[in-house]
Amino acid sequence: MFFVSNWLAGPFQNSPVPEVFPLLAQAAEVSEETAQTGPVILAGVLLSLVVIYLASKLVGELCARINLPPVLGELIGGVIVGVSALNLLVFPESSSHGGTDAFVIQFLESTAGLSPAAAPGVAEAIGEIISVLSEIGVIILLFEIGLESDLKELIRVGPQAAIVAVVGVAVPFAAGTAGLIGLFGVPTIPAIFAGAALTATSIGITAKVLAEIQQLSSKEGQIIIGAAVLDDILGIIVLAVVASLAKTGEIQISNIIYLIVGAAVFLIGSILLGRFLSPFFVALVDRMQTRGQLLISSLIFAFVLAYIGAVIQLEAILGAFAAGLVLAETEKQKELEEQVLPIADMLVPIFFVVVGAKTDVSVLNPLDPANREGLIMAAFLVVVAIIGKTVTGLMVFGQPGINRLAIGIGMVPRGEVGLVFAGVGSSLEILSKPLEAAIIVMVILTTFLAPPFLRLVFKEPETAEPIQNPSEGA
Amino acid sequence: MFFVSNWLAGPFQNSPVPEVFPLLAQAAEVSEETAQTGPVILAGVLLSLVVIYLASKLVGELCARINLPPVLGELIGGVIVGVSALNLLVFPESSSHGGTDAFVIQFLESTAGLSPAAAPGVAEAIGEIISVLSEIGVIILLFEIGLESDLKELIRVGPQAAIVAVVGVAVPFAAGTAGLIGLFGVPTIPAIFAGAALTATSIGITAKVLAEIQQLSSKEGQIIIGAAVLDDILGIIVLAVVASLAKTGEIQISNIIYLIVGAAVFLIGSILLGRFLSPFFVALVDRMQTRGQLLISSLIFAFVLAYIGAVIQLEAILGAFAAGLVLAETEKQKELEEQVLPIADMLVPIFFVVVGAKTDVSVLNPLDPANREGLIMAAFLVVVAIIGKTVTGLMVFGQPGINRLAIGIGMVPRGEVGLVFAGVGSSLEILSKPLEAAIIVMVILTTFLAPPFLRLVFKEPETAEPIQNPSEGA
């Protein structure tokens, strides 16, 4: 790459011809239409993907070697290439200079003939595209997780999952809000918002870690996933309610009821309807003759449910998860799982690197006095976030010998959902700068700490039965 | 889907609560930041993908049943859902109302709470994302084709491919330009531009059809692909030169030399460098421990070459093709091919549907008197386009018994490359309305006619040797 880059640099730097690249120069001059910046945007997206894949694999391989989950490596790789450190990528949220100071844009300016005047528009487009690709990545991830889940087992752990979810939402919310008001004198509405940001578990990170340590189908794993799914629904409801409260000053009961009922009807309804329709689906796929018939039919199903999940104010990932659950019950499960695997390999790292890259860890820097207040509140929020979720394991009933600590730890990471709270709070201008920073720190630490702890607590029974997983730790 | 839609419609139409969806309503009011329209953009992309996949599979399956190539079905499916007929999708080029009259945007307004004020911005973002996804689709397609190609065979057919490519560029260019000036009195510069639009073969469509009829690795198939690759390079050079001519009124020799030398150095250089480096690549991949190591490493390689191809003013697809050729020589070829297959199944249909959907076939309507002039010129261009490429088969030397007609027909489809010409000519405002329409009609007809003809001419020897491909025609 460097060899070719040097070779490329030649004509740009030394050429006596003023317009080496007539087409791009014309594009900037003749018209400002998007169609004309199209090739530069595509080049920028390709460059961003190369950066993302390099970050994900370099740090992911490093983590695999020191026995940390590769997904943590992808997050750290994201932080390294992101806004906190190298600033290689652009996002829709890029604040400073509209993202034009990012490496990707600078590199496009020096190699692809991008003009500084066109740079902000191109940066915005690239950021938007990478953002949507990362969201398609998490949709595919949840689809894959659904496909690998056992619905019967999930229903069997339903009551346990429900109690874990409800406690895991209520305890951090109450303790966080009360503590912020009582200990730090934060006004009521910001305190409630920050408390709400403590509620939602990141199903993506936990599920990936569980899959990596082969605990996804264990009873603990199924309770964690079930609770995280319910938690996600509860978290979105809390977010909608709190945002509504912050804006109007009153909680709309009809809206809360609509959201709760909608979520329940959506998830149960799509699973029941899917079970009813899946024999027809299999028969249809069997009669199709063109390439990719199973994959495309399944993606249509997953994307329709994801779309419905998104527009009824729940989450797109919830719909994709439901679609995976339904298709896991069909005879095509094995074949489909094999086909989804490479697609997940391609798209899921984009999501984890982007989550890491968007997070500004410079608010962690204790040397800057402006960060002090945020750091103390962050410490409080982190403690509440970890304890508030860890206690949920104690609430599991009727399961003697179950690893309660593992369930509690599995609920700790907040990840993308916590970042959604921070983003909405920021745009609503509810949160003070230190409180916003504290929420971000809480999200980072719970997300970064949970995976190694999760591996640790799941390792314990293994030392007792070393025959079960002899390849583990290689 | 319809059942759920009706169920969804309830709360929107009947609810006495003014704000059923507080978050989205807030998003529109509080801030116009992209981050806030993010969920609607994601929903719109999912909806667009569902439309694209449905169109590709419904018409593709129909075509497979009447013995037409499924890729033609994807194109026709695209035309049906595109600007010509149902107008379901949005593109960066959407002219009327900024694409807000498209079904996807209307549907988002009625189901996802998209406000009419935010609609143009959301439509632009969705169009841009779908456009980039389709371009990533064609990059993956060319990567897959490279991976399935035999480099040794391609080099062996090099001289034949070169002569086919050069004749296939020169004859249509000369005949088209001369005819437009002599027969229709078109001014010189527009005539040269239209003549240039006749030059570049669409490698994507031809290669897909060849793969479908299992002729990709035949001698004819390899000559066609080799010639189409060279043709693509020549076509881009012609486009750059003609666009430069149209703008400045003079052809820059240094620029032409730079483009020609750059293309040759890029393709040969990346193949030689790749051959040298591929043992290290295989050794590196073998030492990696995380999931997707082969796929991600290969995609990094392909995207880097695609990026270089794009920024040196050639084509991104050329770089992806070169990467595929290099990796096809390694021992990982089989494993990688299997992993790329589902990714191609997911992304390639987006490209073909989008090409069809962007094409406005209403300029074909002979009932509208405004289309008459364009139709006559179109008829002329179509004849020149078909004959000018078909004669190339006659130039193949030293290959007794080769199917010359098949090679000529294989070079006929213009597809996306022709549409790039029409787009650039349109934005430079060189072309008259009828001439622009004539170019589009030429592109449509050559693209739509070539696949069935190609199947037809490749069928001929089969009836003579029915043992070779007994499964064909099933």
Q: Which of B103, B130, B157 is the last residue of a domain?
A: B130
* Interatomic CA distance for residues B460 and B451, integer angstroms: 15
- The amino acid at B150: D
Task: Write down the pLDDT at residue A28.
Answer: 35
Q: Is residue B473 situated within a structural domain?
A: no
Whether A311 sits inside 8 A of B112 (CB atoms) is: yes
CB–CB of A213/A454 below 8 Å? yes
**H helix intervals, A157-218:** 158-184, 188-197, 203-212
B163: domain CATH number is 1.20.1530.20
* Interatomic CA distance for residues A278 and A117, integer angstroms: 53
CB–CB of A110/A324 below 8 Å? no
Chain A residues in contact with B94 by the CB 8 A cut-off are none
* Interatomic CA distance for residues A313 and A224, integer angstroms: 23
Chain B residues in contact with A240 by the CB 8 A cut-off are 22-23
* Interatomic CA distance for residues B448 and B446, integer angstroms: 6
CB–CB of B69/B413 below 8 Å? no
Query: What's the start-to-end Cα distance of chain B, in Å?
Result: 33
3-state secondary structure of A467: coil
Whether residue B402 sits in one domain with residue B282: yes
Domain region containing B366: 135-464
CB–CB of B167/B394 below 8 Å? no
Chain B residues in contact with A296 by the CB 8 A cut-off are 53, 56-57, 345-346, 349
Whether residue B85 sits in one domain with residue B188: no
Whether residue B180 sits in one domain with residue B75: no
Q: Is residue B202 situated within a structural domain?
A: yes
Task: Write down the pLDDT at residue A298.
Answer: 95
CB–CB of A76/A356 below 8 Å? yes
Nearest residue in chain A measured CA to CA from B110:
A311
Whether A296 sits inside 8 A of B247 (CB atoms) is: no
Whether residue B314 sits in one domain with residue B352: yes
CB nearest to A11's CB, from B11, B258, B295: B258
Whether residue B180 sits in one domain with residue B76: no
Whether A423 sits inside 8 A of B113 (CB atoms) is: no
Reference B402, options B223, B164, B241; nearest CA is: B223
* Interatomic CA distance for residues B299 and A50, integer angstroms: 8
Whether residue A376 sits in one domain with residue A234: yes
Surface of A (14-43) touching B: CB under 8 A: 15-17, 19-24, 26, 30-31, 33-36, 38-39, 41-43
DSSP A18: S
- Structure confidence by residue, pLDDT tens digits, A280-291: 999 999 998 888
3-state secondary structure of A148: helix
Chain A residues in contact with B131 by the CB 8 A cut-off are 38
* R_g of chain B, CA atoms, integer Å: 24
CB–CB of B146/B323 below 8 Å? yes
- Structure confidence by residue, pLDDT tens digits, A209-254: 888 788 888 888 888 888 887 776 677 667 767 766 666 666 667 7
Q: Is residue B363 situated within a structural domain?
A: yes
Mean pLDDT of A363-367: 75
Task: Write down the pLDDT at residue B32.
Answer: 39
Q: Is residue B334 situated within a structural domain?
A: yes
Q: What is the DSSP string of A343-375?
A: HHHHHHHHHHHHHHHH--GGGG-TTSGGGHHHH
pTM for this predicted structure: 0.79
Tell me the two tokens of residue B150. 């035999």
Taking only the tens of pLDDT, chain B with its 474 residues reads 333 333 333 333 333 333 333 333 333 333 334 445 777 899 999 999 999 999 999 998 998 887 666 777 887 898 899 887 898 998 876 555 667 788 999 999 888 888 888 888 899 899 999 989 988 998 898 898 888 877 776 677 778 888 888 898 899 999 999 999 999 888 888 888 888 888 888 777 788 788 878 888 888 888 888 888 777 667 766 776 776 666 666 666 776 677 667 777 887 888 888 888 888 999 999 999 888 899 999 999 999 999 988 887 667 877 888 898 889 888 899 999 999 999 999 999 998 888 778 777 777 678 888 778 778 888 999 999 999 998 888 887 777 778 888 888 888 888 666 666 766 666 667 777 778 778 877 877 887 788 888 888 887 544 444 434 434 333
* Interatomic CA distance for residues A80 and A92, integer angstroms: 18
Q: Is residue B213 situated within a structural domain?
A: yes
Q: Is residue A441 situated within a structural domain?
A: yes
B interface test, pick of A141, A296, A298, A355 with most B CB neighbours within 10 Å: A296
Reference B131, options A136, A139, A42, A350; nearest CA is: A42
Whether residue B149 sits in one domain with residue B87: no
CA distance A393 to chain B (A): 30
CB nearest to B290's CB, from A57, A247, A300: A57
- The CA angle A112-B131-B63, to the nearest 5 degrees, is 135
Q: Is residue B46 situated within a structural domain?
A: yes
Whether B135 sits inside 8 A of A42 (CB atoms) is: yes
* Interatomic CA distance for residues A401 and A418, integer angstroms: 32
Nearest residue in chain B measured CA to CA from A316:
B43
Whether residue B140 sits in one domain with residue B65: no
Tell me the two tokens of residue A373. 């207040």
Tell me the two tokens of residue B71. 């890729």
Surface of A (106-125) touching B: CB under 8 A: 108, 111-113, 124-125
Whether residue B378 sits in one domain with residue B268: yes
* Interatomic CA distance for residues A387 and A369, integer angstroms: 28
CB nearest to B290's CB, from A64, A139, A240: A64
DSSP B394: G
Q: Which of A104, A130, A156 is the last residue of a domain?
A: A130
Reference A42, options A129, A148, A134, A109; nearest CA is: A129
Whether residue B12 sits in one domain with residue B148: no
CA distance B440 to chain A (A): 17
Chain A residues in contact with B332 by the CB 8 A cut-off are none
Helix (H) and strand (E) counts in chain B: 19, 0
CB nearest to A46's CB, from B56, B297, B307: B307
Number of folded domains in chain B? 2
Q: Is residue B470 situated within a structural domain?
A: no
Whether A46 sits inside 8 A of B310 (CB atoms) is: yes
Whether residue B107 sits in one domain with residue B73: yes
Whether residue A219 sits in one domain with residue A118: no
Task: Write down the pLDDT at residue A422.
Answer: 67
Q: Which of A130, A164, A193 is the last residue of a domain?
A: A130
* Interatomic CA distance for residues A111 and A113, integer angstroms: 6
- Sequence-separated contacts (24+) of A396-399 with Cβ below 8 Å: A396/A160, A396/A163, A396/A164, A396/A223, A397/A159, A397/A160, A397/A163, A398/A160, A399/A160, A399/A219
Surface of B (221-250) touching A: CB under 8 A: 239-240, 243-244, 247
Surface of A (138-197) touching B: CB under 8 A: 139
Where residue A367 falls among pLDDT bands split at 50, 70, 90?
Answer: confident
- Indicate whether A152 pLDDT > 80: no
* Interatomic CA distance for residues A173 and B428, integer angstroms: 59
Assess: ipTM above 0.95: no
